[in-house]
Each structure stands twice: as C-alpha cells, then as structure tokens.
Chains A and B, each alone.
Chain A
Amino acid sequence: MAAQSIPVSGWLSSKRRSQQVAHSITYVLLIIFGLTFAFPLYWMVATSLKTPPQQVVVPPIWIPHPLVWQNYPKALTAYPYADYLRNTLTICILNVVGTVVSSSLVAYGFSRIRWPGRNAVFILVLATLMLPYQVTMIPLFLIFRGIGWVNTFRPLIVPSFFGNAFFIFLLRQFFMLQPAELSDAARIDGCTEFGIFYRIILPLARPALATVALFQFMNSWNDFLAPLIYLNQQSKFTLALGLQQFVSAYGSSWGQMMAAAATFTVPMILLFFFTQRTFIQGIALTGLKG
C-alpha cells in the first residue's frame, strides 16, 4: 500500500508543478500584453505633461519630471472648448432621451404583445443592422439640406427618436425575460397596454435602460462622420470635430495635442470606471453568450 502511494503522490505533485509553470507563463504573457495595451494611454498622459523639448528627447523620458501642466490651458484655449463641450453634451443628452424612449416603446411592441407578423417585421429590424451608413448618407444629407437643417443639431438628434435597431434588439431580449403573468395580472385589473409598459415593465427594465443610455451616450460622444457631414460652422462643432481640427492645425505640438486628446478621453474613462457593472450587463444582455 505504502509503496503504491508514492508514485501517486509523485504524479500529483508533478501535475501541480506543471500547473504552476503554466500559471507563470500565463502571468508573464499577461504582463507583456498588459503593458503593451496600457502604454499608449500612459504615453498620451505622459506626453501631455512634458515641455516641447522634453517630448522629443532621444532616448525618451519615460516618466515626466517635473510635471508640466502648461499644455492643458494652451490646448483648451486653442479652440472654444466650452462651446464644443456644450454642443457635444446637448447632442449626447437628447440622443440618450430619444433612444431610450423610442427603443423601449418599440422593443415592448416586439416582445410583450403578440400580433400577426411580429417576428417577420422583427427580422427586418435586424436586417437593417447590415445596411452601411454610406448608402443612406447621401440622400439623407440632401433631404436635411433641403429643409435647411444643415448646421443645426437636428440631423444628429431627430433620427434617434425613431428607435435604434441594436438597442431595440437588446431591450427586447430583456423584456422577453420578464414573466408573462405580470402583464396578464395587470390586464385583468383593467390596466391599458401603455400602463403595463410604463408602470410595470419599464421600472423592471431600469438596468437594461441604463445600459442603452450609457452606450448611446458614448456613441454620440465619439461620433465623427455625422457631425463632419452636417456641421461646418465652427460655433456648432462637437469635441470630436474640434479635436480633429486641432490635429490638422497643430500637427506637431504633441504635448498640446495629447492634452486635447486626454481631455476628450478622460470623461469616457471615468464613465467606464463608474459604470463597469452596467457595461458587463450590456455584454451579457445582447445574448452573445448563448
């Protein structure tokens, strides 16, 4: 018995050792890749805290010392930052309102009410996800130009009030998870369909609505092509357009450019850190796991 147990424990410890080796290799790789992925962002901030001569030293100064803050006031006064921020926030907030209201209504119609043809129409909604923006871009521009909407925020805001296919899909997934008895009980009590939507389903869907609001906010904050097409008056610019303009005008003032990029990026990173749970929920909700 004792003689037999020796090879077994030997096998176990060699297994444990090989597992330790595997873990060490994983760690080394994670650290190498982690540094590679984190370094560009670090470099954005580090460069923004250096004087122009410090930025172009060979070999580079890996840790800026002393910290120089002058790039930030310079970058923020190089273009009307406050105006662009106000424009961006106006578009973001109205887009969030429009998307959340319209997409939740539409998703309810596709999930909590049974009507003939419902699924065929829903497939059509999903099919629109494949349509490239470029196909509708030109006629839409001509329409909005025709009714005098160029250089207003309307072409960027109004379409969001008519539902977004991806968010309709996401909310529909969530609404379908809610038990049918909830609606049935309310119907027996004489509640209208809108009442069920507004008083029962929406309060339950708060986490999903938060995900939609968050994703939409980030999409609008980052959007470049649509503002580029519709806004050509400087006073109407968004931050994305402002930064692009900054890049083409101050191409080699790296410190200022990184300061401008950082002020545009930091709000998104903060938002991400404060809403990580909502983010993860969103990924799970799209049903991609199954």
Chain B
Amino acid sequence: MSDIALVKDQQATRRSAHRIGRLTRINLRNGLLFISPWIIGFLAFQVFPITASLYYSFTNYTVLKPPTFIGTLNYVDLVKDPLFRISLGNTLYLTLVGVPFGTVIAIGLALLLNVKVPGQAFFRTVFYLPTVVPVVATAALFLWILNPQFGLINQFLALFGIVGPGWLATPLWSKPALILLQLWGVGGSMVIYLASLQDVPAELHEAAQIDGAGTIRRTFSITLPLITPVIFFNVVIGLIGSLQYFTQAYIMTAGGPANSTLVYALYLYNNAFEYFHMGYASALAWVLFIIILLSTLLVFRTAGRWVYYAGQ
C-alpha cells in the first residue's frame, strides 16, 4: 500500500465531503456501522487501558489498596533499579544479535531456495515447519536439546571431540542459547524473502550475466538491493517482536542463571503478577513502548540510506 495513494484518496474524500450529499451521509453512516466493532474494541481495549496505564505509572498501586499518586517516583526508581538496567541490557543483547543473525540466515536460505533445483518445495517446507511448532513446545524441546550432559547439540559436538558449553546453565552461554532457538524459527521471514526474490526480474540478471558479472556479484548488486523494502519490513517486525521477548525465557530459565536471561518483558511480568507492583510495572511498560517507538523510528530514519524503491 503506498502513502501517495492514501493521500490522494484522502484528498478525494475531502473534496467530495464539501458537497455532502445524501449519498455521502448514507455511506458515512454505513461505514461507521461496519467498523463499529473495531471502534468499540479500540476504545475499550486500547484507548482506555493506555490512558489507565499511563495514570498507574505515576501511582503506587498494589491491587489491594486503591492507587495513590506519587508523581514521577516510579520513573526515578527505575533509573536507580539495577534489575531494570540488567533486563533492558538482556533484551537489547537478544535484539541486536538475534535480529541481524536471523535476517542474514533467512535471506541466505531464501537465496539457496531461489536457485531452481529439484526438491525446492520440499526444502521450503523443512525450513518453514519449525515456525508451526507452538512456542511452549519449542521451549520444552530446546531444554532437552541444549541439556549440557545429554543434549543433542553437546552430543554432536562431542563427536568432534569438542566439550560443549553449559548453555542455559551458564550466564555466558544462556543468551546465545536463546538466540539459537530464535534462529530455528527463521522460516517465517524466509518465505517472505523467497516470495520477494521470485519477483526480481530475470532480465536484470541476464543482462548482468552477459556483462560478465558472477553469481556473487549479481546477488550483492542486483538481488539484495531490489529486496531491501522487504528486508526493511522484516527488520521492523523482528525488532518489535524481539523487544517484547518473553515466553521462552519464562519457561526455560525463569530469568536465570544470575539474571542473565531476565529479559525486559519478564521483569515487567514479575513486577505486575508476582510482586503486584502494578504502578511500577506500568512505568516499565511505558518505557518499553517508548523504546519500541524510538527504535522503529530510528530504523525508519535510516531507511532512506539503504532501502531502494524500484518505483521511485
């Protein structure tokens, strides 16, 4: 969907609104009627909770007693809270390492699948299948696979005489272990990359081939630049998801060892539903919201430098 089309559309709607005829009024009434479920849901499940959450973030609220206004105290506490810093650091680690790695592997697999070899559909299914596995089942499976003694990975490394690390049992390797689990699920973005690769015009490749450009050169000079809008989209989605990372850490490590996997959303959950510090948890939620907005904005700001739109 292009923004230009939207603006034009809006202008057209505005122009027609000047001569508010009977038809426009009927259409407005019908349109609003059709979207009324969304309007009600938006007000009840979004606008009201967002406002309430902002208010709670300035209160001391332990559920048992009504909230008492304490100004910016929660936010001041937050800056001083070592666990806030640790949890934010853990989430940023998972995002800054996990998202780039995931992007590279997803694109790499899509490029391999884009080579027209027999059995392509079979391999596509193999790579996609892990994304169909429920998160809780993936967490259980990887607890077993990452087991330091008998897990598949360390047993495999032992075949080559390598003593594998303690993975989730050690602060140094726990986060890489969680990233490994994330990488197993790159199939979802891979299929999107594959679809975009199939849209790259073959003529461009043929022309470059005649000019003597090799496979690698063509990949970096033609294919990748043409799919940058899709990379951009996937990075933004990956970023927003990664900053809210929760379930796997909750199930597999509960934040341990030594808080090395205490991710931000887990610390927020603990504050809200384990310690019932609803005010403090709301402040944490707002900081998360702002971090998500700012980092998304940051990616959008850099987009002009590396995203190539063929139409413009």
Q: Chain A residues in contact with chain B, CB under 8 A?
A: 22-23, 26-27, 29-30, 33-34, 37-41, 43-44, 47, 55-56, 58-60, 102, 105-106, 108-110, 113-121, 123-125, 128, 130-143, 159, 161-163, 168, 173, 193, 197, 218, 221-222, 224-225, 228-229, 240, 243-244, 246-248, 251, 254, 257-258, 260-262, 264-265, 268-269, 271-272, 276, 283-284, 287-290
Contacts and interface: CB of A to CB of B under 8 A. Distances in A.
Contacts of A58: 150, 155, 158
Contacts of A240: 134-136
Contact of A134 (B30, B191, B285): B285
Interface of B: 1, 6, 9-10, 13-14, 16-17, 24, 27-28, 30-35, 37-38, 40-42, 44-46, 48-50, 52-53, 56, 63, 109, 112-113, 115, 117, 119, 123, 125-127, 129-130, 132-137, 139-145, 147, 149-150, 152, 155, 158-159, 184, 187, 191-192, 195-196, 199, 215, 230, 233, 240, 243-244, 246-247, 250-251, 265, 268-269, 272-273, 278, 281-282, 284-286, 288-289, 292-293, 296
Contacts of A193: 30, 34
A131 to B, nearest CB: 7
A193 to B, nearest CB: 5
The 9 closest A-B pairs by CB, nearest first: A162-B41, A109-B34, A115-B31, A139-B52, A139-B49, A136-B49, A109-B35, A163-B38, A222-B134
Nearest to B240: A130
B109 A33 contact: yes
A115 B28 contact: yes
A44 B203 CA distance: 45
B38 A168 contact: yes
Contacts, number: 270
B115 A41 contact: no
Contacts of A283: 191-192, 195
Given A102-B38, A135-B50, A244-B251, A55 B139 contact: no
B155 A132 contact: no
A137 B273 CA distance: 11
A78 B278 CA distance: 35
A227 B9 CA distance: 41
A133 B245 CA distance: 11
Contact of B289 (A102, A132, A246, A276): A132
A110 B44 CA distance: 20
B178 to A, nearest CB: 15
Contacts of B9: 119
